[in-house]
Chain A
Amino acid sequence: MIRAGFLLGLALLAAAPAAANGGAACPPAGPEAELSAPLPRLAQAVARGGPIEVLTVGLGSMRAGGVEGPFAQAFREALARGLPGRTINITAVPTPGMVARDAADRMRRGVAEGEPVLVIWRTGLNDALAVTDPARFARIVQRAAAWVSAQNADLVLVDLAYTGAGAHEPTYRRYVDALAQVGRDGEAAVFRRYAITEAWYRAGVLPPMAASEACLAEALAAAILRRVAP
């Protein structure tokens, strides 16, 4: 696990609110970018003041310049800009290549040890590639979501990315649908990365992979901030 504590006030001074897309503007995120549920625990923590503990799972590392990190880094910076003056501690649990069953164990340990108020879990792609049983995948995520909720934390699930209509989109969509179902069951909010990137793709504005990740991270941070705004 990598711990990255930082002062948002300092981050504000250091980072201008420029677009994450390598200086170019990110495509506008439409209604797809709204979270599917509120984040009551995070909202309370923001209202209370004090440090905010966040756990990210499967978002890659926080190391600057890390090849897996554009999403995690951009997310951290965008959150910092949106909550100026607040200390936000982000603990990252990278889970490269892990299916949900294995990643869930790592997430539980991260939650038990870090006691975050917000957990961001990106999942689905590795299960789609491994063609795990979508129903079982949904059950695993559902149980993990219920467990996170019982630990008094909000969970945001981030689903797969869309990169263009391929022969296997129906396979990917099964896992997107499974995550959407978990969201409808009420234990987690879903950030619909697949829907956003598909909309960008159809509009002909989908950025290249790394830039797209950074733009999505900004959209996620913005969606979270809209849910906790007083």
Chain B
Amino acid sequence: MAGAARQRAWQIDLFRGLALVMIFINHVPDNPLAVLTSANYGFSDAAEGFVLMAGIAAGLVYLRKHEQEGWGGTFARAWTRAFELYSAHLLILLLSAAFVAWMATAEGDERLLGWIGLGPLFQDPAAALIGIVALLHQPNYLDILPLYIVLLLAVPLMVPLAARAPALLLALSGSLWFTANWNGWNAPTFPSERGWMFNPLAWQFLFAIGMVIGTRLARGLPVVPRSNLLFAAALAYVVAACVIILDLEVVWPVLPLPWFLYGLDKSFLSLPRLLHVLALAVVLARLPVAQAIAWLDRPGVLMLLGRHALPVFCAGSVLAVAVQIFRFTLGAEWWLEVLLVLAGLAVQVALAMLLAWSERTRGAPPRVAAASAGKGGTP
């Protein structure tokens, strides 16, 4: 790994840890801590940042793998990793469903079985089981891992292009994003027919952009041109998005254009969301934000979370459902919500500490972003 990449590795872990915290907080809707998350101040939210960083980390890891072991090594590692994520996804879905079933039984209220879109699992288990195993039934909040599994399956195709012809990769990937949006193409779901919450045909573009960034970092090449004009435009876009989102009276216009070019649609990663996360990345890359956050987080909690992103993310997914259930059961007093969310975060930090301690006692080298993306890190 080139020196520039090594220097940036801690920043990727830091922002990935921050994204994990925000995703967990956002998965407990409208809790008082949600005002601290980026979702309230722009078009995109932590999910976009997370996928972009996953692409960057994949570029760092799989480029090296590709150069050292060729296409076969890349294929084996990426698909093995995809299977690990698939197993993790099934586990957290099972645990979440068990939580919901317990809650509905204890309360004697069948409406609760519809929690986070789990309804078909209890109403039509035969169809839902097929859907779950085939990644076609994705309850809310448990729908980002299926996207990443598909992206990992595509890594062996993307990495050679990212290594030799990044412009071609971006052109192909961008064309797919555009075509999917233009035609309303989405991966199917079953038994529900809503389509994937994170449409892989659209979101792969953000991952590909991240992968190209990662490969340039790995080679010590500049990523963002040091252009004041670009920085000013990015900053202006981020500020304008913040003003629009915070203005409760703003009425989104209907223009004679396809909706994805000007509307907000998370599933299809519509253009305003895509531009927002890229503008945010330009701003964050130029300003010493990472250093400031690292200074505030001197114990290094965020980096610790970022280095163990997969187990932390999985634990966070189940804990978010549990926190929602406890909040519903116990009442939504603001102090209780804060307490539950902080307790959930504490469990995730404790898990990351345990994993770090376990690595040290086994004599394993400490994780950095590049390593964690390929092994324990990037969901």
Contacts and interface: CB of A to CB of B under 8 A. Distances in A.
A61 B192 contact: yes
Interface string A142-159: 010011001100000000
B318 to A, nearest CB: 16
A93 to B, nearest CB: 8
Which of A67, A96, A136, A147 is most buried by chain B, counting CB atoms within 10 A of its CB? A96
A122 to B, nearest CB: 12
A1 B193 CA distance: 8
A94 B30 contact: no
B109 A105 contact: no
A129 B110 CA distance: 12
Nearest to B327: A131
Interface stretch (B149-157, B198-206, B261-269, B276-284): B261-269
Contacts of A95: 194
Contacts of A63: 193
Nearest to B186: A1
Q: How large is the interface on B (under 10, 10 to 19, 20 to 34, 35 or more residues)?
A: 35 or more
Contacts of B111: 125, 129, 160-161, 163, 172
A227 interface: no
Contacts of A185: none
A166 interface: yes
Interface string B126-160: 01000000000001100000000000000000000
Contact of B328 (A101, A131, A147): A131
Nearest to B120: A67
A112 B191 contact: no
Contacts of B115: 97, 129
Nearest to A135: B30
A166 B120 contact: no
Contact of B120 (A68, A92, A163): A68
A143 B124 CA distance: 35
B110 A132 contact: no
28 contacts: A2-B193, A61-B192, A66-B193, A67-B119, A67-B124, A92-B193, A95-B194, A97-B115, A97-B117, A97-B139, A97-B140, A98-B117, A105-B263, A106-B267, A112-B263, A113-B184, A129-B111, A129-B112, A129-B116, A129-B324, A130-B29, A130-B328, A131-B324, A131-B328, A133-B30, A164-B109, A166-B109, A171-B328
Contact of B254 (A92, A112, A146): A112
Interface string A20-34: 000000000000000
